[in-house]
Amino acid sequence: MADRNRRIVLAAVPVGMPREEDFRMEEVAVPVCAANGLLVRTKWVSVDPYLRGRISGVRSYVAPIAVGAVMESGAVGEVVASQDPAFQRGDIVSGFWGWQEFDAVEAAKVQRVDPREAPVSTALGILGMPGMTAYFGLTEVCAPKAGETVVVSGAAGAVGSAVGQIAKILGCRAVGMAGTVAKVNHVKSLGFDDALNYRTDKPYKDVLARMCPKGIDCYFDNVGGEFTDAVLGLMNVRGRVAICGQISQYNDRSLDVGPRPFTPMLVKQLRVEGFLVSRWAGRFGEGREQMAGWLKQGRLRYEETVYEGLESAPRAFIGLFLGENTGKALVSV
Ligand SMILES: NC(=O)c1ccc[n+]([C@@H]2O[C@H](COP(=O)([O-])OP(=O)(O)OC[C@H]3O[C@@H](n4cnc5c(N)ncnc54)[C@H](OP(=O)(O)O)[C@@H]3O)[C@@H](O)[C@H]2O)c1
């Protein structure tokens, strides 16, 4: 086994759009496996939009990653040493650890991944946190009924692509929004009834009104901004809005001031609810079983955009804000 460990640390708190210079590669000794712990060799690193908040220098729902500290996110790896009898060398596990080739992790904080069930990278995507976000956010917060219309922003991404497909499984009309023609065609190929390109298909309200002739019952928002303003104007009475993400604003240096949403909320009696997927952490087993079942039946499909090598992790992360990924953005280490 190698005795050196390459890792990526936060070099500076990004201002606005993150740059590759905000990260730095270091080489250190391989960490030591603690009592009751595991030493894992990282196979996959997940890059996710929420990491923008974690490198902003301020606390949101978790503490920020400090300058000089190792970047960390969801990861999948192989156990190379185990001090816990429940795990053997060669086991595949997922959890949260550093953007590094090796990490020492607590056995209690990882989940076993069964490579026979699905490719292990899916533990970071459709069968992992983004998949659970789509499943619980849609079914619990939007709670769509068959025949209703569901609109999802960020539709070609890890969460959004799953939301539209689940909406179809539940018997709804699914309409997506994405940033390129290729992505629009991709989500239609996944079974979405319609989709618009937010860069060209304007005014949003007119385009959406044509795509949603019966109005909008559920809105699953990953993006925020002007698109949300248009959707709110088309919501049906007693519609439900799940605020999952606001990626269009994560790099903003000042607060976005748009139309205030309270009038459409009032007159259409909307329920608008923000959520964090951790709310359903105790039910992830149930969510995974349902999503894995749909995958096996071919009713659910997923896409991955893979960046090669640990050194590409900063680029992969920045790519999220440039729309480089279709489906789950991952780094193969
Ligand atoms: N609440 C929770 O617990 C939870 C959990 C997971 C994720 N989330 C949120 O869910 C959203 C999607 O996450 P994900 O992991 O599935 O990421 P993702 O959608 O796979 O990747 C990000 C995508 O966002 C789009 N985007 C980037 N900047 C944009 C902008 N200014 N305006 C419009 N679209 C933009 C890009 O697609 P285009 O090419 O279409 O622009 C990009 O590919 C994020 O907002 C994330 O923070 C929330």
Confidence band, pLDDT 50/70/90 cuts, at residue 59 = confident
pLDDT over threshold 80, residue 2? no
pLDDT over threshold 90, residue 24? yes
Could you tell me if the CB of 243 is within 6 A of ligand 1?
A: no
Name the residue of 223, 227, 251 whose CB sits within 8 Å of the most ligand 1 atoms, as the mutation to test its pocket: 223
What is the token pair recorded at 269? 């009696």
Whole-number Å distance, alpha carbon 130 to ligand 1 midpoint, is 10
Q: What residue segments make up the domains of the chain, in order of their start? A: 4-124+303-332, 129-278
Whole-number Å distance, alpha carbon 147 to ligand 1 midpoint, is 26
Whole-number Å distance, alpha carbon 84 to ligand 1 midpoint, is 37
Confidence band, pLDDT 50/70/90 cuts, at residue 61 = confident
Judged by average pLDDT, the poorest of 61-65, 90-94, 244-248 is: 61-65
Judge whether 104 and 32 are in contact, CB under 8 Å: yes
Q: What is the mean pLDDT of residues 257-277?
A: 96
Question: In this predicted model, what pLDDT tens digit does every residue of 281-305 receive, in sequence order?
Answer: 999 999 999 999 999 999 999 999 9
Place of tokens 């990653």: 65
Could you tell me if the CB of 153 is within 6 A of ligand 1?
A: no
Look over the chain and give the mean of its residue pLDDT values, rounded to a whole number. 97
Residue nearest to atom 31 of ligand 1 (CA): 248
Note the pLDDT of residue 333. Answer: 98
Torsion of Cα atoms, 47 then 51 then 56 then 60, to 10° = 180
CATH of 129-278, one of 3.40.50.720, 3.30.360.10, 2.40.50.140, 3.40.50.10490: 3.40.50.720
Q: Which atom of ligand 1 is nearest to the CA of 225?
A: 32
Rounded to an integer, what distance in angstroms lies between the CA atom of residue 267 and that of residue 262?
9
Note the pLDDT of residue 36. Answer: 87
Note the pLDDT of residue 63. Answer: 87
Q: What is the mean pLDDT of residues 19-35?
A: 96
Sequence-separated contacts (24+) of 51-55 with Cβ below 8 Å:
51/317, 52/14, 52/18, 52/250, 52/251, 52/321, 53/250, 55/10, 55/13, 55/14, 55/18, 55/22
Q: What is the mean pLDDT of residues 129-138?
A: 98
Which is nearest to 172 in space by CA: 133, 130, 218, 131? 218
Could you tell me if the CB of 223 is within 6 A of ligand 1?
A: yes
Q: What is the mean pLDDT of residues 146-161?
A: 98
What is the token pair recorded at 312? 């590409």
Rounded to an integer, what distance in angstroms lies between the CA atom of residue 13 and that of residue 295?
39
pLDDT over threshold 90, residue 115? yes
List for the chain the helix, strand, coil content (%; round to 5): 30, 30, 40
* CATH class of the 4-124+303-332 domain in this structure: alpha beta
Q: Which atom of ligand 1 is nearest to the CA of 180?
A: 39
Note the pLDDT of residue 170. Answer: 98
Note the pLDDT of residue 62. Answer: 82
Could you tell me if the CB of 71 is within 6 A of ligand 1?
A: no
Judge whether 150 and 163 are in contact, CB under 8 Å: yes
Note the pLDDT of residue 48. Answer: 98
Rounded to an integer, what distance in angstroms lies between the CA atom of residue 204 and that of residue 258?
15
Whole-number Å distance, alpha carbon 264 to ligand 1 midpoint, is 24
Whole-number Å distance, alpha carbon 37 to ligand 1 midpoint, is 34
Judge whether 303 and 161 are in contact, CB under 8 Å: yes
Note the pLDDT of residue 155. Answer: 99
Could you tell me if the CB of 125 is within 6 A of ligand 1?
A: no
Residue nearest to atom 44 of ligand 1 (CA): 245
